[in-house]
Structure 1
Amino acid sequence: MFGILQPCRHVLDDLRDEWRAHMCGLCLSLRDGHGQAARLTTNTDAVMVSVLTAAQRDASAITRTAGPCAFRSMRRADVVTSTDPGIRLATSASLTLATAKANDVVAEQRLALAPAAPARGHAARATGRALHRKATRTGDVLDVTNVLTSLDRQTDLESTSSDLDALTGPTADACVTVFSSSADLADVPDNRQALADIGSEYGRLAHLLDAIDDRADDDAGGAFNPLTATRTSDTEALARAQLSADRIAERYRDLVLHDDRLLKALLIDGIAQAVRRRRRAGERREIAAIGAGRQTWPPHPPADWPGGTPYPPPFPPDRSWYRRILPFTGVTFCGPALCTDHWNHCSDKYKAPLADCGDCCDCCDCP
């Protein structure tokens, strides 16, 4: 539940209205039941929980027409009502996980796992208490206490354990509770074990991807990061995440579902896209590091280049402006800069392609 799912509008295609109905339904449920500020806890992973519940039910989700909203360009839209089981579960999950996040900030300050920030700690403590009260009011659809108990173990493990599986365990346990609760609400008990397995793998995957995203900032600020603490490279973390994604796809086939087109686009395709996005971001960072370190073309010297001898740049650095701009124009407008790794003639640096067609779907790099 870290907001790792970012559905591509081209993959959603004719499912976009259904996706928006669940997303806006969750946002409005948080507003109507818990105040305007609660809408800040809305995230795409919680929306997926609503879609997951709906996919298991034979009856269609009940919708209503919502008024204009700035996030919909001041247009009306059909949204899933706040009484729908999936929306109720998503609402409870959003508030519960936001509470856990606030509690984690407080615990990190207490155990010195993050740079000292008293004001941030006090704000997180007050926010956590308010969110906990709101989450408790939704406890009829989700075992809030069980989820928070699982996630509260996280900080203690961070101060004592150096095992990556142990560090991702609390998130896995919390997601098991959330995912399996959807089977109870949909009244499909046969799905409970498969969803528990999917939730466990999803929790580990989300924790790993979140750690990859935060690693640079955590290392720079002196905050705890599970990958740094366990000396796990991003490549190894992505390999673990890919294994979890494969297991989720395998167990997904065991679920009893009705119309699962939107769920598959969000969960299966969304997870694959999330892993792929981090892998390609890592490749771009490596290319940028090569370019910054070598400033040469090609990025590696030929095999027969004498060891210890500087590899010269392919073009003289003091060449005139038109000798820079003409090759730059050709590389930029004739394709290489768009689709392949290339030499930037203006900056004399090795660059990654400007567009990465595999990052989102087969034809584009969607925002």
Structure 2
Amino acid sequence: MLRPCRHGAARYGIDPSLWQAHMCGLCLGLRDGQGQRARAATNTDAVVLSVLTEAQDRAPAVRRTAGPCPLRGMRTARVPVATSAPVQLAATASLLLGSAKVGDHIDDGDVRPLLHRPMRRIAAGWSAGAQARAAEVGLDIAPLVAAIEAQAATERRITATGPSDPAALDDLTVASRRCAAEFFAHTAVLAGRPGNADPLRAAGAEFGRIAHLADALTDLEADTAAGRFNPLVATRTSSAEAYALVRESDRALRRTLRSAELTRVPALRWALLDPLATALRRLGEVVGAPPATAGAAPRSEYPTEDRTSRRPGSGESLQLILTQYCTGYACCADHTRPCTGDRQESWVSRSCGCDQCGGCCDCASCCSNCGCGDGEGDCGCCDCDCSC
């Protein structure tokens, strides 16, 4: 869901290789702990945990030089060491969520029966690895595992009884909210900023709800056609209602982050808030919500293959990582060709009237830079409905 723009980093004075460095550190950390196969569990959204931990710490995580990698064009890179706290926490999240994802694919019938047993072995190994990593960073993930395991029972109950109460959708997002909340909060513990734990826990819960509902919205049509469980169908929640909840969580997340003590605010804005604004704009297109799509590019200017409209299978996850992040140039989510940072007059001039945007991905970065407003509505410097 989070796709930081390489060229957007320049506006914040950030090294554009920061995101790739953290992602490569996570990938190599998974390899060192669980073997080569575990690298497929690399969760690109979990990279934000590594960035968030470092954004609160007084000193960046210790780096090492990683050897040439084909995914980086055979270039070396300076990456956080595998034993550093940011990498360990991101690896824990990747393994835990990867294990749950494999289980979901098996339960949904996306995996051939012949592969069920070996895939469950992989999931069990990743789950054990997550518990070992969590113990090393002092995080108790037993409640998180229990919440994930209870998800299937909650889905069956709501499918059988129907949405008997308005809280049915909240019940379905409990696991996502709780996992994200505890991972966000633990970044404060690892960074030595215990005072940040409560606001980050609240921000993480909102991020978890956004992620869950975003997945439900983008998969709604495919799930309905395939007869798979979808929380919106099960709870009779319309796309417009779900999108309103996503925007509500986005505003709440930004409010709570303001109360956290951060050492590197620009890095967090670039790695989390700007990509989140872009993700909401893309969701607005999916649901056809006019307020959130005022600054969006025409549909014809989006990539032919819309990666937000389908869930990657086990064989596609690594490919998404390669094409979106590792190449070092295909960085702009809404561009059909490598981003140069040049103004895209075909649509940016219509969607943003200010000069702070830089003409790169979209007006989300412009709104994050303008410094106006209180996060409750339009920023005034462009036509998009954003949270500044």
Q: TM-score, normalised by structure 1?
A: 0.73
Structure 2 CA distance for aligned equivalents of residues 220 and 120 of structure 1: 24
Equivalent residue, structure 1, for 2:56: 56
Cα deviation for residue 133 of structure 1 reads: 2.2
Cα deviation for residue 212 of structure 1 reads: 1.2
For residue 264 of structure 1, what is the amino acid of its counterpart?
Answer: R
Equivalent residue, structure 2, for 1:69: 69
Cα deviation for residue 10 of structure 1 reads: 2.4
Cα deviation for residue 88 of structure 1 reads: 0.9
Equivalent residue, structure 2, for 1:318: none
Q: Aligned pair 1:137/2:142, yes or no?
A: no
2:185 to 180, 189, 207: 180
**After superposition, where does 1:149-168 map in structure 2 within 5 Å?**
149-161=146-158, 162=163, 163-168=168-173
Cα 1:130–1:357 change in 2 (3 A) is farther
Cα deviation for residue 103 of structure 1 reads: 3.1
Cα deviation for residue 123 of structure 1 reads: 4.2
**After superposition, where does 1:32-51 map in structure 2 within 5 Å?**
32-51=32-51
Q: Aligned pair 1:80/2:80, yes or no?
A: yes
1:19 and 1:262 in contact (8 A); partners too? no
2:8 to 11, 27, 36: 11
Q: Aligned pair 1:198/2:195, yes or no?
A: no
Q: Aligned pair 1:127/2:122, yes or no?
A: yes
Structure 1 CA distance for aligned equivalents of residues 129 and 350 of structure 2: 42
**After superposition, where does 1:285-296 map in structure 2 within 5 Å?**
none
Cα deviation for residue 117 of structure 1 reads: 5.2
For residue 265 of structure 1, what is the amino acid of its counterpart?
Answer: W
Structure 2 CA distance for aligned equivalents of residues 282 and 362 of structure 1: 28
Q: Secondary structure of the equivalent of 1:66?
A: strand
Gaps of 5+ in 1: 287-337, 341-354
1:225 to 226, 230, 236: 230
**After superposition, where does 1:292-311 map in structure 2 within 5 Å?**
none
Cα 1:65–1:201 change in 2 (3 A) is same
Equivalent residue, structure 1, for 2:386: none
CA RMSD of aligned residues (A): 2.6
Cα deviation for residue 203 of structure 1 reads: 0.6
Q: Aligned pair 1:98/2:98, yes or no?
A: yes
Q: Secondary structure of the equivalent of 1:279?
A: helix
Q: Which moved more, 1:129-138 or 1:184-193?
A: 129-138
Q: Secondary structure of the equivalent of 1:139?
A: helix
Cα deviation for residue 283 of structure 1 reads: 3.4
1:115 and 1:222 in contact (8 A); partners too? no
Gaps of 5+ in 2: 294-345, 363-388
Structure 2 CA distance for aligned equivalents of residues 363 and 8 of structure 1: 12
Q: Secondary structure of the equivalent of 1:264?
A: helix
Structure 1 CA distance for aligned equivalents of residues 36 and 114 of structure 2: 23
Q: Secondary structure of the equivalent of 2:288?
A: helix
Structure 2 CA distance for aligned equivalents of residues 270 and 52 of structure 1: 14
Equivalent residue, structure 1, for 2:256: 251
What does the per-residue CA deviation read over 1:11-39, in whole Å, with 9 as the maximum and x for residues that have no partner? Answer: 22343122221111111111111111111
Cα 1:128–1:268 change in 2 (3 A) is same
What does the per-residue CA deviation read over 1:266-313, in whole Å, with 9 as the maximum and x for residues that have no partner? Answer: 222121111111112443999xxxxxxxxxxxxxxxxxxxxxxxxxxx
Identity of aligned pairs, percent? 39
Q: Secondary structure of the equivalent of 2:146?
A: helix
Structure 1 CA distance for aligned equivalents of residues 111 and 48 of structure 2: 35
Cα deviation for residue 219 of structure 1 reads: 1.1
Structure 1 CA distance for aligned equivalents of residues 2 and 50 of structure 2: 14
Equivalent residue, structure 2, for 1:148: 145
Cα 1:117–1:40 change in 2 (3 A) is closer
Cα 1:105–1:339 change in 2 (3 A) is closer
What does the per-residue CA deviation read over 1:306-344, in whole Å, with 9 as the maximum and x for residues that have no partner? Answer: xxxxxxxxxxxxxxxxxxxxxxxxxxxxxxxx559xxxx
Q: Secondary structure of the equivalent of 2:237?
A: coil
1:15 and 1:262 in contact (8 A); partners too? no
Higher relative contact order (CA 8 A, sep 6+): 2
1:207 to 212, 219, 229: 212
For residue 158 of structure 1, what is the amino acid of its counterpart?
Answer: E
Cα 1:41–1:282 change in 2 (3 A) is same
Q: Aligned pair 1:169/2:174, yes or no?
A: yes
Q: Secondary structure of the equivalent of 2:58?
A: coil
Structure 2 CA distance for aligned equivalents of residues 124 and 171 of structure 1: 22
Q: Secondary structure of the equivalent of 2:16?
A: helix
Number of equivalences:
292
For residue 152 of structure 1, what is the amino acid of its counterpart?
Answer: E
Equivalent residue, structure 1, for 2:31: 31
Cα deviation for residue 235 of structure 1 reads: 1.9
Structure 2 CA distance for aligned equivalents of residues 238 and 356 of structure 1: 24
Cα deviation for residue 261 of structure 1 reads: 1.4
Structure 1 CA distance for aligned equivalents of residues 21 and 101 of structure 2: 26
1:115 and 1:221 in contact (8 A); partners too? no
Structure 2 CA distance for aligned equivalents of residues 116 and 219 of structure 1: 18
Cα 1:121–1:230 change in 2 (3 A) is farther
Cα 1:34–1:164 change in 2 (3 A) is same
Equivalent residue, structure 2, for 1:277: 282
For residue 80 of structure 1, what is the amino acid of its counterpart?
Answer: P
Q: Secondary structure of the equivalent of 1:68?
A: strand
Structure 2 CA distance for aligned equivalents of residues 74 and 15 of structure 1: 20
Cα 1:253–1:284 change in 2 (3 A) is closer
